[in-house]
Amino acid sequence: MKITLEIWRQAGPGTAGKMVTYTQDDVSPDMSFLEMLDVLNEQLQERGEEPVAFDSDCREGICGMCGLVINGQAHGPQVTTTCQLHMRSFKDGDRITIEPWRADAFPVLKDLVVDRSAFDRIIQAGGFISVNTGAAPEAHAAPVQKAKADRAFDAATCIGCGACVAACPNAAAMLFLGAKVTHLGELPQGQPERDARVVKMLTQHDHEGFGGCTNVGACADACPKEIPLDVISQLNTDLRRSMARGN
């Protein structure tokens, strides 16, 4: 296939960037999207041009390191991560625009690489269960209803990629937040800190410069792990309950 690419190039943090056009003449439908960029980068280097910087690591849709806005969509046209997107989703002659995540809380570091450390700080604020190593009771001491365990698991599959933020017109991180609050809140082990957790994490979220949620739902549409919108309802419920108890 022949593909034309328009890629955001930016030399470093805080510098101006621009879209640059490249063509790719020999794209195989079996290539992953990032392999297509690998090939481009090899060609650029052979021509003496600096390769395009982009993040990826596992390349199997689980580490959350990759993330590009492709033709205006976070992670592109399929419900999957950028690294799991394959060129068979495109056709000969396509023009593809590639941009980094855009959000105040995710500043661009270079080309398509952004800084997502705000997510880690949200977790630091309360996205955990406080149990020191060695202090755990026997695992079977507290059975967990399968339905609850499954819902906790589904929420826990969030990979922290940030597509929800990139897709949201308000650049809110509520899906990410809701996923963690739901994961820990569904489990008996997560109850003691449940009220405090939601307030602390939300405070950090706002502090990082993420926007507010206006129920657009673009986050859930973009989420490669199909984290459902109802985790945001759970977040709101937990928040109301926590406030009612004076947190």
Partner 1 sequence: MTDGLIAGYFREGAPIQDTKAPSGPIEQRWSTRRFDAHLVNPANRRKLSVIIVGTGLAGASAGATLGEAGYQVKSFCYQDSPRRAHSIAAQGGINAAKNYKEDGDSVFRLFYDTVKGGDYRSRESNVYRLAEVSARIIDQCVAQGVPFAREYGGLLDNRSFGGVQVSRTFYARGQTGQQLLIGAYQALERQIAAGTVEMFTRHEMLELIVVDGRARGIVVRDMVTGEIETHLADAVVLASGGYGNVFYLSTNAMGCNVTATWRAHRKGAYFGNPCYTQIHPTCIPVSGDHQSKLTLMSESLRNDGRIWVPKDSADKDKDPRLIPEEDRDYYLERIYPSFGNLVPRDIASRAAKYQCDAGKGVGPGGLGVYLDFADAIKRMGRAAVEAKYGNLFDMYAQITGEDPYETPMRIYPAVHYVMGGLWVDYDLESNIPGLFVAGEANFSDHGANRLGASALMQGLADGYFVLPNTIREYLSHGPYPQVAADAPAVVEAQTAVKERVRHFLSCNGTRTVDSFHKELGKIMWDYCGMERTEQGLTHAIEQIRALKKEFWSNLKVLGTGDGINQSLEKAGRVADLIELGELMCIDALHRRESCGGHFRAESQTEDGEALRHDDEFAYVAAWEWGGDDAPPILHKEDLVYEFVEMKQRSYK
Question: From edge to edge, which strands make up the β-sheet containing 95-99?
Answer: 17-24, 3-10, 95-99, 69-70, 73-74
Phi then psi for residue 59, to 5 deg, are: 55, 30
- In the region spanning residues 76 to 115, those forming contacts with ligand FES, defined by CB under 6 A, are 81-83
What does 35 interact with, of ligand SF4, partner 1, ligand FES, none (CB < 5 to 8 A by kind)? partner 1
Q: What is the DSSP string of 44-55?
A: HHHTT-PPPP--
> Closest approach of Cβ 215 to partner 1, in Å?
27
> Closest approach of Cβ 85 to ligand FES, in Å?
9
Number of residues that bind ligand SF4 (CB under 6 A): 15
What does 2 interact with, of partner 1, ligand SF4, ligand FES, none (CB < 5 to 8 A by kind)? none
- Retrieve residue 170's tokens: 């308000």
Q: Are strands 113-114 and 108-110 parallel, antiparallel or unpaired?
A: antiparallel
Judged by CB under 6 A, which of 10, 32, 56, 182 binds ligand FES? 56
Going by C-alpha positions, the residue among 169, 170, 192, 194 that lies closest to residue 181 is 194
Q: Which H helix or E strand runs over 21?
A: strand 17-24
Give the span between the Cα atoms of 189 and 130, in whole angstroms: 9
- Retrieve residue 85's tokens: 């997107």
Judged by CB under 6 A, which of 7, 66, 114, 177 binds ligand FES? 66
Report CA-CA distances (Å) from 156 to 138, 150, 174. Answer: 22, 10, 14
- Using CB under 6 A as the binding rule, whether residue 63 contacts ligand FES is answered as yes
Judged by CB under 6 A, which of 5, 36, 54, 61 binds ligand FES? 61
Report the residue number, 81 or 234, with the smaller CB distance to ligand FES.
81
Cα distance between the two ends of the chain: 58
Judged by CB under 6 A, which of 41, 44, 59, 247 binds ligand FES? 59
Report the residue number, 64 or 127, with the smaller CB distance to ligand FES.
64
- Retrieve residue 102's tokens: 């855009």
What does 137 interact with, of ligand FES, partner 1, ligand SF4, none (CB < 5 to 8 A by kind)? partner 1
- Using CB under 6 A as the binding rule, whether residue 58 contacts ligand FES is answered as yes
What does 48 interact with, of ligand FES, ligand SF4, partner 1, none (CB < 5 to 8 A by kind)? partner 1
String of contacts with ligand SF4 for each residue 192-231, x by CB under 6 A = ------------------------------xxxx-x----
Q: Please state whether 185 falls in left (phi above 0), alpha (psi between -120 and 50) or beta.
A: alpha
Binding site for ligand FES (CB under 6 A): 56-59, 61-66, 81-83
